[in-house]
Amino acid sequence: MGLKVRKRSAPPLPPGCPIEKCMELLGGLWTPHIVWELSGKPRRFGELENDIPGISPKMLSTRLKRLERQGAVIRRVIMSSPPSVEYSLSEHGRELVPVINAIVQVGTRLRRASFRPQQPDAARPS
């Protein structure tokens, strides 16, 4: 005789899976780093490259183009000699900052704690 299937206790997600929509924007190894760096003030490509150690120019360019296409980043050409490009967060992009900040806070606490997964207690009723 198998175990009884328990009823769902979490509330259902709203239609259209909002978690998936948010992760569509934040997905990718470097995207949260880029949003974090742009949360301070607008940055030029070279500045972002210096701010994010380990990111390749190709990856930075790919992520910035994707964020711009998704409406999270604004690309502004500065008419100088030579011309320069500055990136900033749009209003849509700024909405991601509290999400990333929450992830940073949880990650910081997890690093400090000696995190050990709880072992299920066989005697505990479900």
pLDDT of 66 > 70? The answer is: yes
Residue 75, CA distances (Å) to 8, 12, 71, 85, 92 in order: 45, 37, 10, 7, 14
Share of the chain above pLDDT 70, in %: 89
**How many CA atoms, within 13 angstroms, populate the side-chain half-sphere of residue 59?**
13
Give residue-wise pLDDT tens across range 69-103. Answer: 999 999 999 998 888 999 999 999 999 999 999 98
Q: Which CATH architecture has domain 18-110?
A: Orthogonal Bundle (1.10)
What's residue 45's pLDDT? 95
pLDDT attached to residue 123: 54
End-to-end alpha-carbon separation of the chain, Å? 17
Instruction: Say if residue 30's pLDDT is above 60.
Output: yes
pTM attached to this predicted model: 0.75
Q: Is 38 helix (H, G, I), strand (E, B) or coil?
A: helix
User: Are the C-beta atoms of 95 and 73 separated by less than 8 Å?
Assistant: no
Instruction: Convert the pLDDT of each residue in 43-56 to its tens digit.
Output: 999 999 999 999 99
pLDDT at 75: 97
Decide if pLDDT at 11 tops 90: no
For residues 51-74, give the mean pLDDT. Answer: 96
Sort 87 into a burial class: Cβ within 10 Å, 0-12 / 13-18 / 19+. buried
Apex CA 93: angle with CA 82 and CA 78, to 5°? 15
Q: Dihedral, CA atoms, 87, 90, 96, 100, nearest 10 degrees?
A: 30
Least confident of 5-9, 48-52, 59-63, 75-79: 5-9
For residue 43, what is the DSSP state?
E
What is the Cα–Cα distance from 105 to 112, expressed in whole angstroms?
11
